[in-house]
Amino acid sequence: MGLMDADATKLVQVASPVQHRRAGDSLASFLTSTLNRGFIFIPNPGNAGDALITLATLRLFYDLALPPHQCGHFSGVYRSQLIVGFGGGNLVEHASSNGPDGGMKLAQFLHLNAPPVHNNTIVLLPQTVSGYGSLIGKLGRNVWIWAREQETYRYLLRTAKGGAHVRVAHDLALHLVDCDFWGASNAMVQPRRTAAFLFRTDREAPVGQPLPPGNLDIARSLNNRTWDLRSVDASLLGLSHRLSDHELALCIKAVALLRYVAAASEVRTNRLHVAIAAMITHTPCHVYDNSYGKLSRVYSHSLGTGSTYDNDMLLFHKGIYRPNECEMDGGCPQPGRSSLSGEPAVRRWITVGATSLGKTHGLSDRITIFSWLLCVGQLLMRASTSLAPPPIYSPKHIRM
């Protein structure tokens, strides 16, 4: 059964645009003033995390009421065009490869289209950038590069000596927080009492990172699925402009990621956009860094205490994840009592819920509600019996 079947088409029913509140108001203002005519958007055909950025970018285009765009490709050669290139972590040289998920796509695009002789105006959406010094140093005043964290911003200021404009905002996937994508979708996901281990298995995985039993690199796993586009209405994603099949497939992949994460009781991951998906779907998530510090940089700039998107759903851990003996042996019959989905995480959820309910109740009611939720949470922990992660998509377990 396809992802967007008759039941799943109820996923999102958002018809009106929302104000772009936080994920870089300066970026929103810039896009509104700069993209004042038809333009070409180059999405990243990468993994599900890249697809989440694409979904958020297309939603931002709609919320800002930008002119219609055409979908381009990173290998295309353009002349006299206004071009918007995808955001993400595709300009990190030491982590790049030329494989299907490789990070050489944006560098290839810039080599082909950034030289002033082509008369293109290029906007690169918020990036993490490392290396490619020669390339960046040659970019001229026809190129705008947006960083998504401070270390990249400082690096670009030092490196972009050819006149390229450098700005800083937030990772664009966070626009799905701004527009309350998940809440407005009225999504109905049957929760599982199991946590999800979603650690990466590619070259960005930290050296020495052990993988717990049941780990699934969901961002890569979704690449192998075929999406049925025939019954999908882009308006159900809160998008007004007609999308290309490529863009629509990326949006569906992003929704699959959100549904998978939302079905888990808790997530542990070192993938940035799995963590952001957890934030979007209000799923408690323990976050660990990747091989070159991407998550710690973005967390410090956008997600940590006192930052723009400071929240109670994400908890960042220094160092790599170390499964306990029970997890490594695969012998945890009740993951609700393990370090992954144990009492501290449930207490945290209960505290957040009780605090929220307390906004509309008196102190005595808050105490009563908290005590009741605590008892329920303890019962749910004892009832957990399976360590298997939730399915990517099964109408028997996840209903939208």
CA–CA gap between residue 153 and residue 159 (Å, rounded): 10
Q: Which two tokens stand for residue 2?
A: 């396809």
Residue 196 has pLDDT above 90, yes or no: yes
Q: Tens digits of per-residue pLDDT, 61-101?
A: 999 999 999 999 999 999 999 999 999 988 998 765 544 44
Q: Is pLDDT of 376 > 70?
A: no
Mean pLDDT value of segment 278-300: 93
- Model pTM score: 0.78
According to the model, what pLDDT value does residue 189 have? 72
Determine the average pLDDT of the residues in 305-310. Answer: 89
Residue 21 has pLDDT above 60, yes or no: no
Mean pLDDT of 34-53: 94
Which has more pLDDT, 376 or 216? 216
Query: What residues are paired with 91 via a beta bridge?
Result: 129
Within 13 Å of residue 373, how many CA atoms lie on the same side as its CB? 19
Residue 214 clears pLDDT 50, i.e. is over it? yes
338-373 pLDDT, tens digit per residue, is 333 333 444 444 444 544 444 445 555 555 555 555
Cα 46 from Cα 219, distance rounded (Å): 9
CB burial readout 198-224, b (16+ within 10 A) else e: bbbebebbbeebebbebbbbbbbbbbe
Mean pLDDT of the chain: 78
DSSP string over 175-224: HHHHTTHHHHTT------SSEEEE---STTSPTT-PPPTT---HHHHGGG
Domains annotated for the chain, with CATH where assigned, are 8-174 (3.40.50), 331-388 (no CATH)
**pLDDT value at residue 311:** 85
List the one residue out of 40, 149, 134, 46 whose CA is nearest residue 85: 40
For the record, the structure tokens of 202 come out as 């590619």
Q: How far apart are CA 330 and CA 129, in angstroms?
A: 38
Q: Quote the pLDDT of residue 4.
A: 34
> Residue 97: its pLDDT value, please?
53
Bigger pLDDT: 143 vs 203: 143
Mean local confidence (pLDDT), 327-346 = 40
Helix (H, G, I), strand (E, B) or coil at 275: helix
Greater pLDDT, 112 or 228: 112
Quick one: how many helices (H) and strands (E) in the chain?
A: 14, 11
List all residues 6 or more positions away from 216 whose beta carbon is below 8 Å from its beta carbon.
196, 197, 198, 389
Q: Name the residue with higher pLDDT: 298 or 16.
A: 298
CA 340/CA 264 separation, integer angstroms = 11
Report d(CA 371, CA 97) in Å as an integer: 52
CA dihedral (219, 202, 151, 159) positive or negative: negative
- Would you state the pLDDT for residue 369? 55
